[in-house]
Amino acid sequence: MAAKKRSADSSVRDRMIALRDTINRHRRLYHTLAQPEIADAEYDQMVRELEELEALHPELVTADSPTLLVGGDISEAFAPVEHRIPMTSLDNAMDVDELRAWGERVLKGLGDDADVRYCVELKIDGLAVSLRYEQGRLVQAATRGDGRVGEDVTANVATIANVPKSLPSRLDLPDVLEVRGEVYLPIDAFERLRAAKELENAERVSAGKKPEPVPVNPRNAGAGSLRQKDSAVTASRGLAFWAYQVGEVVGGPEFASHHDTLDFLSALGFPVNPNIRVVDSLAEVEAYCRDWQENRHQLGYEIDGAVVKLDDLAQREALGFTARAPRWAIAFKFPPEERTTILDDIQVSIGRTGRATPFAVLQPVFVGGSTVGMATLHNEDQVRLKDVRPGDTVIVRKAGDVIPEVVGPVLSLRPKASKPWKFPTKCPCPLQSTLSRTEGESDTRCVEPGCPNQRDQRIIYFASRGAMDIEGLGERTVFQLSDAGLVSDPGDIYFLDVEQLLTLEGFGRLSAEKLLAAIDGSKTRPLPKLLTALGVKHLGPSASEALARAFGSLDGVMNASQDDLATVDGVGDVIAASITSWFERPDSKEFIEKLRRAGVDFGNVEVSRAPQVLAGKAVVVTGTLDGFDRDGAERAIKDRGGKSPGSVSAKTFAVVVGREPGASKVTKAEELGVPMLDEAGFVQLLETGELPA
């Protein structure tokens, strides 16, 4: 028995040593070098495993364990700065149960009858910094570093536009004021940086040189931008700052609550995030976290969770700190949207227009709320510029409902025998037709009209929710129908019968009749749906709606001249030329007549006679209105020539706010100064096209 126990202890000790070494290596890559090889979620998993092992075996805990440390080592490229008050890290809650457990610990520490208020804020995915002001002037800026010592980045922080360089003269201005916050790279600035690097790589590839790594996310790009040796480079990147805490304060006012300190910082000109809320219960904290987890992509910057803090500063003092984190705060982490995994293979799929799209076959990984086994690689140029190869460890990103994407490879983990992937020259369909790429275009296409892959994808697209919305006619059924020779284009589905469907695997009489009923029901879909379903290149839902309003029927669109089509708002010359060319093809004419024989409604609908008072204006509707359902409100806007997008932007003309509106839309409108209307104001807008006085 004793021998077995020693063996178990040895196994645990070896695992803990391996975890410490691996975690410390990745701490340095992430915090010091801004060159992470794994996603945050993998790092968090290792730290959590080490914490659990240390809790079970406290005798094996070492003084240098990374679970006791904050941040990372400082870079030798910058002078060290000792923090007068340590910059601690935060403990994490990975789910609601862990958040509630933290809440119970707080009440236990304060007393179950304590009156607790919480300040909850977005967890900005950036780099923590400390700004020191003496007599109202910025004298030093430092990174968090290891919590005790950071890096002097004063010259670089001074280039950030929304960081105050001097504070307004006030009687209560502290002699020393340390402001802590997050430096981050806004998403639009990140996209510009990424596009510039991709353009530079294209030039390198053309010159026969290897492409350089492309920034994979705003956090890493922001950290790298702040740590530039040349502050002019930092200034060009467009970094920004949110203040969220005070550190050392000498002189000045006394504060009783955290939100008092934030109000004070805001009054001095510091940018304080507008989405910070003070709430009275943990249930409200949970609701805040749920709302922002769902709406995180409505923001112009990346967040990876929410930070929950006690608002009362005296209660914070009473709870104190652990070795590395305050007991009075916790970070609620959202599910990861980036993970690393192995790219097993790169294959090519053929779409309805013949477009050949490369995609990655991945070792399955849970990311963005689902398990991902495949991810898009867009086109030949993107594969070459990203230089991803079979066998690579790659970063996979899935944000919300967005299609999973391979962001790039982890070059330090690339196998030595790796070779660049080459785009195939033959279509993967049985015809093995030649793939071609027109000069000046980024897409490679199969131009064989009889390509079965294109045929199947056209039928799948025709039946999809955004087109004719035929429930039950998904990929599997389409492939069955195609393999059985029952369909050759989307029009054939309207001539199927029960007996034919009964020959397919998995179909009984009831399921066959149900599918035929769904197909029959699609014959009366609105004209915009039918136009979209045709699969004309460049013709999407928005242009289809505009054409339906302008011409009233499919025959009206079909018989319109190219010039007439191009004059419709939202169509233009490119789409008009594509529509005209499509309707002139013999196979398109045959397809249209097949739909006509089947009894598909070509949409002889009444063209809107409403005055086009909202022409060119985007109006967003959020919440519940008394006089309109959601579709009715959007239709009223579009009938008057307007657009009704699902999100608020700088181009939004107005936001209509009903009962229980989306918090993110209201917040975005406030940030951008977009006018907000109640229902009465909306009615007036529909009548006049003008905002109420």
Strands 338-350 and 652-657, by their bridges, are unpaired
Backbone angles phi, psi at 588, to 5 degrees: -70, -40
Please compute, for residue 420, the number of CA atoms within 13 A of its CA located in the half-sphere on the CB side: 13
**Distance between CA atoms of residues 313 and 310, nearest Å:** 7
Judge whether 608 and 639 are in contact, CB under 8 Å: yes
- Out of 4, 5, 108, 123, the active site residue is 123
Q: Which residues contact 432 (CB under 8 A, 6 or more apart)?
A: 426
123 is catalytic: yes
**Distance between CA atoms of residues 166 and 648, nearest Å:** 34
Q: Nearest to residue 218, comparing CAs of 239, 243, 200, 241?
A: 239
Q: For the chain, how far is it from start to end, CA to CA, in angstroms? A: 86
DSSP β-bridge partners for residue 98: none
**Distance between CA atoms of residues 226 and 155, nearest Å:** 10
Structural element, H or E, at residue 338:
strand 338-350
Return the beta strands (E) in 57-97 as ranges: 80-82, 92-93
Place of tokens 């905002």: 691
**Distance between CA atoms of residues 668 and 654, nearest Å:** 12
Judge whether 525 and 468 are in contact, CB under 8 Å: yes
**Distance between CA atoms of residues 125 and 336, nearest Å:** 12
**Distance between CA atoms of residues 639 and 616, nearest Å:** 12
Q: Which residues belong to the active site?
A: 123
